[in-house]
Amino acid sequence: MKEKEKEFEKIVREHKNTIYTVCFMFSKDTDEVNDLFQETLINLWRGFENFRGDSSVKTWIWRVSLNTCISSERKKNRKDSVPLSIDINLYKDTDDDSRQIQMLYRRINRLKPFDRAIVLLWLDCVPYDEIAAIVGISVKNVSVRLVRIREELKNMSNE
């Protein structure tokens, strides 16, 4: 049992940035990101024993992270909630580059969860074949979807 736990710890330590990246793309709230991270770790632990190594560990972690976040997003959308927010951001950047990045981030967040996942992987420089394996579609479909997603992002208004 100890050997399995050590191996899992090592994998999590090596890939925690990937998990946080996925979680951060699905929420702006720090507490929610941490909750998604913990939920992802739970799902990884539950599936760890059954991981056969058919794909790379990184691909498996991406897939579990995305599925966890997408499932959470669906559950969240079913509930009616009133978000609480403070209208001041002491850390907000105001230079042109920061504004461009913030605009892109807002647009990406308006995409459907599946498209958001594909863009996230693409922005993380994951090759098309790995993206296909992670999200469960063909490489050609990844290419086609990315073209359509980029077009959709370009055509979005600046809300």
Q: So where are the chain's domains?
A: 1-78, 93-159
Residues (pLDDT < 70) of the chain are 1, 77-97, 158-159
**Cβ neighbours around 16 below 10 Å, total:** 14
Domain 1-78: assigned CATH number: 1.10.1740.10
What pLDDT, on the 0 to 100 scale, is given for residue 13? 93
DSSP structural state of residue 90? T
What's the predicted TM-score (pTM) here? 0.64
Q: What kind and span of H or E run contains 112?
A: none
On whether the CB atoms of residues 20 and 27 are closer than 8 A, the answer is no
What's the pLDDT tens digit per position in 48-83?
888 887 888 988 999 899 889 888 888 876 665 555
Domain 93-159: assigned CATH number: 1.10.10.10
Separation of alpha carbons 19 and 38, rounded Å: 10
DSSP structural state of residue 99? H
